[in-house]
Amino acid sequence: MGKLTGRIFNIQTFSVHDGPGVRDTIFMKGCPLRCTWCSNPESQRHGLQLGWREKKCVGCGVCLKTCEHGALGRAENGAIVRAPEKCAKCLACVKRCYAKAMHVYGEDVTVDELYGRIRNKPQAWRVDGGVTVSGGEPLMQADFVGELLAKFRRYGIHTAIETTLCASFNKVAKVAAHCSLIYADMKLADPVAHKRHTGVDNSLIKANFQRLKKEFPEVQLIARTPVIPGVNDNEAELGAIADFLKTVPGLDDYELLPFHGFAQPKYHQLGIDYQFKDMPNMDKESVAKTNALLRERIGLV
């Protein structure tokens, strides 16, 4: 027990928007979906990824000298250019970087190590908070996450996950058994559109929605939809989602998450294109109004 290893890419302390109270949020690395708007692009691949944080870089060039694989170069404007296909993931450049501008996304930790790091901060629990596992997709590492959450639950700490529900029910069950709260995304109701925008079909997700509370009635289930311009920000699509959610047994609440472009710098760090570049953030108040109407439509009021 406690020796299972999982791969995370971040721990965020003092999270105030990922469940009740003040929380520590753990981000797992790897996700079966490839949502074009993904706000954590560094979470998608399970493999380690090199990031270059331009703002931190002092331009000393020690990383270029360190790399023995020719995976790093310098553009005319001074930017560090990466050739991921040549990178051997030796991380020598990360270790040598003085300014911590070269960064690796992904770290392997055991359940015990991770628990130890978080339990070091018991004050968050004392303020009615707890632990949230996000991602990436926590269910991709279901054994690890299940064991971790069980450890917190044993001491009465509130546990939550943020999930796509895109996993076999076997995996859902392993984690749900130790959850106080599950935030599950319903991004699109139409299977074809879902496949187009996220890379996967939504039939498994829908089936898990239907089954979850039947097997785990104690868990609080909150469905969420990120409202994305040009993808699902219209009445027809949101209405279809609401109509599906109306059929979900035991649904406790439904939240719309307005689009924001905070992820843009992370795409830049990873050197990948961002389809929503310079798209303005969505108005929170109007989204909140739509949210209220949809809650009513689902019968949550």
Partner 1 sequence: MSVCTMESSCMTGQEQRLADGRGQSSPRERTNRALNVMRAQRPRLDIERAVLFTESMRETEQYPLVLRWGKAVRHILENIPVVIQDGEILVGTIGGPGRISPLYPELRCGWFPKGMPETQKKDAYAVRSEDIATFMEKVEPYWRGKTAHERYLALMPKATRDIIYGDDDYGATGLMQDNSNINSTLNWSGIFDKIINRGVLALKKEAEDKLGEIEANPANGDYDKIPFLQAVIECYEGMLTYAARYAAELMTLAAAEKDPVRKQELERMAEICTRVPAHPARDFWEAMQAHWFAQIAYRAEQQISGGVALHRFDQYMNPLYVKDLKEGKITEDFALELLEAMWLKIAQVVPFSATNAGNYWEGYAHFENCTIGGVDRYGRDATNEMTYLILRSKKEFPLHYPEVSLRVHAGTPHELLHAAAELVKEGCGFPKFFNDETIITQLMCNGVPLAHARDYSAAGCTEIRMPNIDTYLSLGGNINLAAALEMALNDGWAHFGSRYEKLLTPSIARKDIKSFDDVMSNLRECVDFYVDHFMKRMSALELTNKQCLAAPFMSSQSDICMENLTDIHQCVMPGSNQHDTGNVNFNGFGTCAEALASIKKLVFEDNILSLDELLEAVNNDFENNEPLRQLMLNVPKYGNNDAWADAIARDLDQMIGELVHDRQSVFGEKYLKYVPVTSHVGLGNKTWATANGRHKHTFLSEGISPTQGADVDGPLATMMSIANSTSRVYPNSCARLLNLKLNPQVVAGEKGTQDLINLIRNFVDLKLWHVQIGIYNKDVLLKAREKPEDYKNLIVRVAGYSAYFVELSPSMQGEIIARTEHEMV
**Is 192 one of the binding residues for partner 1 (CB under 8 A)?**
no
**Is 258 one of the binding residues for partner 1 (CB under 8 A)?**
yes
Cβ proximity to partner 1, 228 vs 248, nearer residue:
228
Cβ proximity to partner 1, 3 vs 126, nearer residue:
126
Cβ proximity to partner 1, 16 vs 64, nearer residue:
16
**Is 143 one of the binding residues for partner 1 (CB under 8 A)?**
no
**Is 284 one of the binding residues for partner 1 (CB under 8 A)?**
yes
Residue 168 CB, nearest approach to partner 1 (Å):
31
Q: Which stretch binds partner 1 (CB under 8 A): 11-19, 65-73, 152-160, 216-224?
A: 11-19
**Is 292 one of the binding residues for partner 1 (CB under 8 A)?**
no
**Is 14 one of the binding residues for partner 1 (CB under 8 A)?**
yes
Residue 104 CB, nearest approach to partner 1 (Å):
15
Residues that bind partner 1 (rule: CB under 8 A) add up to a total of 30
**Is 188 one of the binding residues for partner 1 (CB under 8 A)?**
no
**One symbol per residue from 29 to 58: x for binding partner 1 (CB under 8 A), - otherwise; what is it?**
---------------------------x-x
Residue 280 CB, nearest approach to partner 1 (Å):
8
Q: Which of 46, 53, 89, 121 binds partner 1 (CB under 8 A)?
A: 121
Q: Which stretch binds partner 1 (CB under 8 A): 201-209, 226-234, 249-257, 282-290?
A: 282-290
Quick check: 158 and 126 in contact, CB under 8 A? no
Kindly report the three-state secondary structure assignment for every residue of the chain: CCCCEEEEEEEEEEECCCCCCCEEEEEECCCCCCCCCCCCHHHCCCCCEEEECCCCCCCCCHHHHHCCCCCEEECCCCCEEECCCCCCCCCHHHHHCCCCCEEEECEEEEHHHHHHHHHCCCHHHHCCCEEEEECCCHHHHHHHHHHHHHHHHCCCCEEEEEECCCCCHHHHHHHHCCCCEEEEECCCCCHHHHHHHHCCCCHHHHHHHHHHHHHCCCCEEEEEEEECCCCCCCHHHHHHHHHHHHCCCCCCEEEEEECCCCCHHHHHHHCCCCCCCCCCCCCHHHHHHHHHHHHHHHCCC
**Is 235 one of the binding residues for partner 1 (CB under 8 A)?**
no
Cβ proximity to partner 1, 104 vs 240, nearer residue:
104
